[in-house]
Amino acid sequence: MKRWVFVLLLLTTTGLMGSSFAVGKIGLEYVSPLLLVRLRFTIAGVLMAAAVKLTKRPHPSQVKDWSKIALVGSLQTAGVMGCIFLSLRTISAGESAILTFTNPLLVVVFGTIFMRMKYRRLQWLGVMMGITGVFITLGASLDVGQIGFLLGFMSSVFWASATLVMKKWGSTFDTWVMTAYQMLFGGIMLLLGSILFEQAKITFTPGSIAIILWLAIMASIVQFAIWFYLLQKEDPAKVSSFLFLAPLFGVLTGWLLLKEQLHLTTLLGGSIILLGIFLVNKPVKEMGDRRTS
């Protein structure tokens, strides 16, 4: 893949990820958390499932393959997004974003432990710098005594797990089919969660409908399709390192949509994030380190 294409796709997917925090925060004024995220992914899943069926994309033929897609949906959609929206009940959107986007470090840790992947020392340093930059960008004011802290951290665990599962199985599936059905399976699980764990509410207005459609189409269909495509084509730690840009985009969209203030910490944290990304992705030959990542 050409470098400029890789960068453009990563900026698009992380920009959509980051914007979903501000858009989702606005959406919570109209819809209860689990119902909002359930509508987002059920609509996206149904639309994409219809599209891949009509275009005759290759579908799995064995039950075990469908179970793999269901596992990805339970991790990437139900696990990650459910934890994020539930965490927002007791911690701020910034704190939730900080915890969620520490998952690139967990990708490296889990990949090393469970998949015997090897990463260079500068890659580990780059990931640590990226996490430091996220904390600086968003304020680093976490209250670990809140249940939202555990939920926010679990969203990171689910995301890292889904990333490695996709690296292992993703190449065996059509990207659009995987994206469609993992969202549909995840949306169904979130529906059950909404029934069991919250008193669902929704207010229909032109604004609330627009928010739901944006989250379902742009921040779900487009974002996930690009994300899974990149995971299939590149090293998961390399791709995941760019997730550090998502909370930075979250701050910028919060400033644009919610009139939140921008601070010097945004510029400082953003610079450290970019340096961390550079270290994780710097070619081996330029560092004199011939070990594979």
pLDDT top residue among 138 and 251: 251
293 lies in some domain: no
pLDDT at residue 157 in the model: 93
Q: What is the mean pLDDT of residues 242-254?
A: 81
pTM to 2 decimal places: 0.79
Closest CA to 184 of 35, 37, 46, 33: 46
- Taking 60 as the threshold, does the pLDDT of residue 180 lie above it? yes
Residue 56 gets which letter from DSSP?
A: T
Q: Is residue 222 one of the residues assigned to a domain? A: yes
What are phi and psi for residue 162, nearest 5 degrees? -65, -40
Output DSSP code: residue 115: S
Q: Is the pLDDT of residue 56 over 90?
A: yes
To 5 degrees, how large is the angle CA 109–CA 124–CA 220?
A: 65
292 domain-assigned: no
Is residue 222 helix, strand or coil? helix
pLDDT of residue 18: 86
Q: What is the pLDDT of residue 2?
A: 82
pLDDT classification of 215: cutoffs 50, 70, 90: very high
Characterize 230-269 residue by residue with b for buried, 16 or more Cβ atoms within 10 angstroms of its Cβ, and e for exposed: bbbebbbbbbbbbbbbbbbbbbbbbeeeeebeeeebbeeb
Is the pLDDT confidence value at 255 over 70? yes
> What is the 3 state secondary structure string of 234-255?
CCHHHHHHHHHHHHHHHHHHHH
Residue 95 has pLDDT above 80, yes or no: no
**Rounded CA separation 244/178 (Å):** 24
Q: State the average pLDDT over residues 128-136.
A: 83
Q: Is the pLDDT confidence value at 293 over 60? A: no
Residue 141, pLDDT score: 57
pLDDT value of position 283: 60
Flag whether pLDDT at 287 surpasses 60: no
The whole-number pLDDT of residue 64 equals 92
Tokens of 28: 């919570």
Total domain count, the chain: 1
Kindly tell me if the per-residue pLDDT of 57 is higher than 90.
yes
283 in helix, strand or coil?
coil
Per-residue pLDDT, 140 = 57
Average pLDDT score over the chain: 84
Do the domain assignments include residue 8?
yes
Region for residue 201 given its phi and psi (left: phi exceeds 0; alpha: psi -120 to 50; beta: otherwise): beta
pLDDT at 52 > cutoff 90: yes
Has residue 288 got a pLDDT over 80? no
Per-residue confidence (pLDDT) for residue 144, from 0 to 100: 59
29 located within any domain: yes
Query: What's the average model confidence in pLDDT over 56-60?
Result: 93
What was the pLDDT predicted at 210? Answer: 94
> In the prediction, which pLDDT does 196 show?
85
pLDDT-derived band at 55 (thresholds 50, 70, 90) equals very high
Whether residue 291 is contained in a domain is answered as: no
Over residues 159-170, the pLDDT tens digits come to: 999 988 988 887
Q: Is residue 146, in this structure, part of any structural domain at all?
A: yes
Residue 35 lies in a domain: yes
Per the structure, the complete domain to which residue 233 belongs is given by 3-286
| pLDDT reported for residue 158 | 95
